[in-house]
Structure 1
Amino acid sequence: MKILSKNLKRGSVKVVPETTDDIWVLHTVIQPGDLVRARTVREVHFGERGSGRSSRVPMTLTIRVEKTEFQAFTTRLRVRGVVVEGPEKYGVLGKYHTMSIDVGRELEIVKPKGWPRSLLEKLESRGPQPAAVIVAVDYDEYAVAVARGQGVRVVAEGSLHLPGKDDPSREDALRESVAVIAKTVAGVVERENPLLVVVAGPGSLKDIVAERLHPLLPSRVKLYTDNVSMGGHAGVLEEVRRGVMRSALREAAAIQAERLMEEFERLLAKEPCRVAYTLDQVLEAASMGAVEKLLVLDEMLHHPDPEVRRRVDELLRLADSTRAEIHFVSAEAPAGARVKSLGGVVAILRYALQLGGKACA
């Protein structure tokens, strides 16, 4: 979740959801009576009622929330309520409106009575979020930053101080600078435990840095290169603005889901009573507070059967209340297909449980 601004005196927080996980967090955070302000589209009728034309008009509205629900067949969250602010010329005040909140859509949430600490903490840190390291480098400067769902933090930067192009010592100085950058990045990777590293910059220098860095990285960390127009802090920001990091973090979340699925399969073979799968089994385990890690196919959030959606919501709220790690995975991801074959929900348990007739050793 990217938090754009906070004004807790007026109970306002502006956010941009960046993953399906974030959409579900908003579902748990937005409550009846809250005010939600966002850009939306509304059908507007022109002329006498029942005559004339109508058109879908984009506008910014604020609604007083009455309920939220996941929309079937999509990853969107539907937020329904009465319009309390909007363009007067369209006569929308006092009428009902439903906003569709999707990944990448900015919105402001206002809680008139203030933000409970627990709900604010949900927005600020939803469990262990996947991280990526960005390195932006050119022949003048470099910067190293850590990107998570909440934003980007520059942790190291410096200048290369290279001699002129005709100076015979330039190549040695460049190799020295590249070695320093690679060592710095390796230290950040060891400390931050990211799932991927992106080396960005103009020309071929980024490839030289990536080549020097590659043997210093753990095998689990993926390494990418990308083109930006400059190095340093400005290069980091350019990389982020281009949206590459959002897709990289989505991939990081898929890698995280893959590792969780591997852990689940290992326990299924060796300690079958330490895992649960299918909605029935996992919901039973969650009601006992036994779920330690939960992996949910994102399709389950918007299942066409409203009863399934209700039970998934109940499961997520139970898991959340007992501080379980909650992760979502797309059906398109390799781990997603395996989760789907197991009923769309799998869990690693805190202790062994006999569920659904399983025999425990």
Structure 2
Amino acid sequence: MIVKPSGASTNAFFVIPEDADDLFTLRRIIEKDDHVIADTTRVIKQVKEYGRPDKGERVKVRVSIRVEQSKLDAAVDRLRITGVIAETDNEMVTKGTHHSLSVQAGDMITIDKGRKWQEVELRMLNRSGSNASFILVAIDTQEAAVAKVSGTHVKVIPNIYSGQSGKRYQTKNNPNIEIYFTDIAKTVSSIIGENDKVIIFGPGETRRRFFNTLVARQEIPRDRVQVVDGVDVAGEDGIFVFLRSPAMKEAMSASKLASVSSMLDRVMLMVNRGEAKFAMGMQEVSQAAAMKAVEAVVFSDSIFKTAADEEQVVKLLNSIEGYGAKAFAVDSSTDIGLRVSSLGGIVALLRYAIR
């Protein structure tokens, strides 16, 4: 998430969510009576003196709404914020009327709390604003998949095909593999961020040949590109094999995804050993949180769908981070997200056993 102080107020921040993780964070930060400023559209109808109003015209407008409710939508790819319009830059848009903002990755909003931000809120905001991403390339001579891992969210770009026949030698009808490498390199360059790293893997020596092509373009520094052994699958399947492999934890050791994966492995080990330093599900985690026994917690998008009160989930997570524990959000774009969902949607490591 891109985060910058807003010049309009000392209590306001300008933010751009970049992935589903950032939307989770905003859901936990935005509260009732906050002011959210965003560009949106609204239908304006012209009322005639002796006739019905026309169908109206949809116009772009910047509004500041006083938040009444924020809610993750069922698809978990956008945050819906509803409230009352407090300010607008179009005199034809009436103040005091209700409006709904739909915030997706890439949208720009300003959050003004009208008060000093709490330490836990700033911690969540700054942590989201400092996450580097990883670009994964699963490649062989016939196909390649490129994926971007931001936090614990994975976005896979459709496979790129070389058109090679599978022969080990160049034939008249075989396209030049260098053109194939160039297409992949252009895809990587189009999605990489300033501090992102590239990880290349796949069967044979193709991964090293692509590494040479990518570095030779001089668009990405050599020290930000890494070739990984041990994953001999290319294409989209290769991406998900890598994300479940020990190679992922080693290559992405500083990433949020690797931290969550290691945490779940520890929980499964405790289950097998019969240890009780973990909690699963809302009831158990809430009990542990009340005793300040939580060391770290991971939750999936399913917890917002199954919980009776979404606001209760937000308060629980914020209270856990409030006393220094770590909280990680995952979604169903990865195998880890599905694992957490199957364990009740929320799993916690405890500082000590409570049962």
TM norm. shorter chain > 0.5: yes
Matched, 1:294 2:297: yes
- Tell me the amino acid that sits aligned with residue 317 of structure 1: N
Which residue in 1 is equivalent to 2:333? Answer: 332
Name the CA distance, whole Å, in 1 between partners of 2:93 and 2:224. 60
Using a 3 Å threshold, how does the CA distance of structure 1 residues 118 and 318 change in structure 2: closer, same or farther?
A: closer
Which residue in 2 is equivalent to 1:99? Answer: 101
Using a 3 Å threshold, how does the CA distance of structure 1 residues 47 and 61 change in structure 2: closer, same or farther?
A: same
TM-superposed CA distance for 1:349, in Å, is 0.9
Q: Deviations over 1:57-93 (max 9, x none)?
A: 4432111223333334434333222212224353232
Which residue in 1 is equivalent to 2:73? Answer: 71
Which residue in 1 is equivalent to 2:192? Answer: none
**Secondary structure in 2 matching 1:18:** coil
Name the CA distance, whole Å, in 2 between partners of 1:128 and 1:324. 18
- Tell me the amino acid that sits aligned with residue 319 of structure 2: L
TM-score by length of 1: 0.60
Name the CA distance, whole Å, in 1 between partners of 2:77 and 2:289. 24
Checking the alignment, whether the CA contact within 8 Å between 1:4 and 1:16 is kept in structure 2 is no
Which runs of 5 or more structure 2 residues have no equivalent in the other structure?
Answer: 137-148, 152-194, 201-209, 231-251
Which residue in 2 is equivalent to 1:84? Answer: 86
Name the CA distance, whole Å, in 2 between partners of 1:262 and 1:195. 26
Using a 3 Å threshold, how does the CA distance of structure 1 residues 298 and 339 change in structure 2: closer, same or farther?
A: same
Using a 3 Å threshold, how does the CA distance of structure 1 residues 126 and 3 change in structure 2: closer, same or farther?
A: closer
Identity in percent: 25
Name the CA distance, whole Å, in 2 between partners of 1:129 and 1:345. 22
Which residue in 1 is equivalent to 2:19? Answer: 19
Q: Deviations over 1:208-227 (max 9, x none)?
A: 999x979988989xxxxxxx
Checking the alignment, whether the CA contact within 8 Å between 1:130 and 1:253 is kept in structure 2 is no
Using a 3 Å threshold, how does the CA distance of structure 1 residues 266 and 313 change in structure 2: closer, same or farther?
A: same
**Secondary structure in 2 matching 1:204:** helix
Matched, 1:312 2:313: yes
Provide the alpha-carbon RMSD of the alignment.
Answer: 4.1
- Tell me the amino acid that sits aligned with residue 269 of structure 1: N
Which residue in 2 is equivalent to 1:204? Answer: 213
**Secondary structure in 2 matching 1:124:** helix
Name the CA distance, whole Å, in 2 between partners of 1:290 and 1:256. 19
Checking the alignment, whether the CA contact within 8 Å between 1:75 and 1:298 is kept in structure 2 is no
Q: Deviations over 1:166-224 (max 9, x none)?
A: xxxxxxxxxxxxxxxxxxxxxxxxxxxx995469x9982616999x979988989xxxx
Using a 3 Å threshold, how does the CA distance of structure 1 residues 352 and 90 change in structure 2: closer, same or farther?
A: same
Using a 3 Å threshold, how does the CA distance of structure 1 residues 338 and 21 change in structure 2: closer, same or farther?
A: same
Checking the alignment, whether the CA contact within 8 Å between 1:45 and 1:52 is kept in structure 2 is yes
**Secondary structure in 2 matching 1:257:** helix
Checking the alignment, whether the CA contact within 8 Å between 2:25 and 2:124 is kept in structure 1 is yes
Matched, 1:28 2:28: yes
Using a 3 Å threshold, how does the CA distance of structure 1 residues 333 and 112 change in structure 2: closer, same or farther?
A: same
TM-score by length of 2: 0.61
Once the two structures are superposed, the pairs formed by residues 1-361 of structure 1 within 5 Å of their partners are 1-7=1-7, 10-48=10-48, 51-125=53-127, 129=131, 132=134, 196-197=197-198, 204=213, 206=215, 253-301=256-304, 303=305, 307-354=308-355
Name the CA distance, whole Å, in 1 between partners of 2:85 and 2:267. 46
